Structure 1
Amino acid sequence: MTLPPAGARFEYQIGGADAPAADTQVVIRDSTAAPTGRYDICYVNGFQTQPGETARLLRESPELVLHRNGKPVQDAGWPDEVLYDITTPALRTRVAERIGAVIASCAAAGFDAVEIDNLDSYTRSGGLITPEHTLAYTGLLVDRAHSLGLAFAQKNTAELVREVRALGADLVVAEECQEWKECHVYTRVYPVVLDIEYQRAAFDAACAVQRSTARDPRLSVILRDYGVSPRGARGAVHGTC
């Protein structure tokens, strides 16, 4: 298991794969895409369903989906995604087996690490999922990734940074840590932090610091559009400092 270089140039391509820039060292792509041969991180939605699998899961294994008053708990921001139920050891094991199969496919494809998204789903569960449930489940995924030789990237959720790091997580993929004034929370704990900003002002502010004597060598910063679109797509934004 290896980590990407601290401060490396990276690209966030989960909205569609395209050829990385020549000086890009790290690429993050969806688990359905092929790795690039650089340092490749595999995006996995670990705490919620992918839109295309929601209906099938509800039909075939509804017990793996969190329910409130008989209805699946949805992510309000992504209503075609529902939350996995990780509230008991038995359920955590079953969901981890499901997500573990995706992690295994990342390893088989040749990725170097996994980024497990929606660690903060417990904040959208109406109190049904606790931080303790979340950490117990995360530990299963960290162990699975490591058993396959993959590094494990924490995704966002600065409020649990020390706890997730203690489980063995290796690096961070953070969205808008400059915007939310959280970058230092991650860099105090992790050796590599890959930050994606979506607001130009926050990106410019982060880059100004990274070009100064106050630069944090553990931090890499890029600017993307909210759709994380491939180059050439309408509205695509790809900025690096």
Structure 2
Amino acid sequence: MFPRPVWAALAVVAFCGACAPAAPPVPVIPPAKAAFDYQLGGAYPPPAGVQVVSRDHSAPAAPGLYNICYVNAFQAQPGTEEEWDELVLRDANGEPIIDEDWNEALLDVRTPAKRERVAAKVNGWVDDCAARGYQAIEPDNYDSYTRSHDLLTAEDAQAFIRLLSAHAHEKGLAVAQKNTAELAGRHEANGLDFAVAEECGEQDGCDEYTSAFGDHVLVVEYTDAGLTHACDRWGGSLSIVRRDRDVTPAGSPGYVRETC
């Protein structure tokens, strides 16, 4: 016969074997019209009054704020193509497909097997985001299919982002839709909870996001004209910030941050 402590432990194990697994934490989206800062080029102390900040996944979260963790999910950072190897999207001649604006190779998410492999690496960053205390992720370049010379499709992009959003939600993280207004109407099916929209004021297109996400849209502008138009049209309801295009840290040459 087992000693009493062992018997009691076995009874607990037997009982809990029928218990349902603990539910994952419920993701929380950023508050609407919150003061926002976009710090992808390097972390710095947020300006007074800021409630929401987006930073690269390599940076620590800002204490006491709502933190969004940026991950370059659909393209390779410059100089990292070898790390991705055959997961880089290539043309018929074997040449990588490059986003010329940022000198970033597109990642190949055309097949379920490749999507799973790319997601495994990106989701490792997502795990780091959760461990660092972030509340959400911002997977960038969702629209890479529009630069793929027709090698990628919108369906490929959506199938891939669903892998990321499902994993992030399991970790208790909300997921931003980055740009890609043409897919905003599919955000619920793709597990996307709020939007980060660059230059929708400049392009007079913020309504494409608000029609899907309501007031849960964070707007980033890079010109005076874009900021002015965004503030005139949506300043009463959306979070809006103007940054310099390189999103440099405060104190750096070229640093710009303005709000409505």
TM interval, short-chain normalised = over 0.9
* 1:107-126 correspondence runs (5 A): 107-126=130-149
How many corresponding residue pairs? 231
CA contact (8 A) 1:135 1:164 kept: no
Residue type of the alignment partner of 1:71: E
How far apart, in 1, do the equivalents of 2:146 and 2:190 lie? 20
How far apart, in 2, do the equivalents of 1:116 and 1:84 lie? 13
Q: Report the equivalent of 1:43.
A: 70
How far apart, in 1, do the equivalents of 2:192 and 2:154 lie? 16
Instruction: Note if 1:226 corresponds to 2:252.
Output: no
* 1:71-220 correspondence runs (5 A): 71-79=95-103, 81-191=104-214, 192-210=216-234, 215=236, 217=237, 219-220=238-239
Distance 1:129 1:16, change over 3 A: same
Shift of residue 46 of structure 1? Answer: 0.3
CA contact (8 A) 1:54 1:82 kept: yes
Instruction: Note if 1:54 corresponds to 2:81.
Output: yes
Report the 3-state secondary structure (helix = DSSP H, G, I; strand = E; otherwise coil) of the residue aligned with 2:188. helix
Shift of residue 75 of structure 1? Answer: 1.1
Report the 3-state secondary structure (helix = DSSP H, G, I; strand = E; otherwise coil) of the residue aligned with 1:236. coil
Shift of residue 188 of structure 1? Answer: 1.1
CA contact (8 A) 1:49 1:84 kept: yes
Shift of residue 201 of structure 1? Answer: 1.3
Shift of residue 209 of structure 1? Answer: 3.1
Shift of residue 119 of structure 1? Answer: 0.5
Calculate the TM-score normalised by the size of structure 1.
Answer: 0.92
Encode CA deviations 1:31-63: one digit per residue, 9 max, x unaligned. Answer: 010000200000000000112422333xxxx22
How far apart, in 2, do the equivalents of 1:28 and 1:2 lie? 15
How far apart, in 2, do the equivalents of 1:209 and 1:137 lie? 33
2:38 corresponds to which of 12, 17, 37: 12
Report the 3-state secondary structure (helix = DSSP H, G, I; strand = E; otherwise coil) of the residue aligned with 1:114. strand
Q: Percent identity between the aligned chains? A: 48
Q: Which structure has the bigger radius of gyration?
A: 2
The structure in which a higher percent of residues are strand is 1
Q: Report the equivalent of 1:70.
A: 94
Calculate the TM-score normalised by the size of structure 2.
Answer: 0.86
CA contact (8 A) 1:12 1:29 kept: yes
Q: Report the equivalent of 2:28.
A: 2
CA contact (8 A) 1:138 1:164 kept: no
What are the ranges of 5 or more consecutive residues in structure 1 without an aligned counterpart?
A: none
Which segments of structure 1 move beyond 4 Å, counting only runs of 4 or more?
Answer: none
Report the 3-state secondary structure (helix = DSSP H, G, I; strand = E; otherwise coil) of the residue aligned with 2:37. strand
Residue type of the alignment partner of 1:66: L
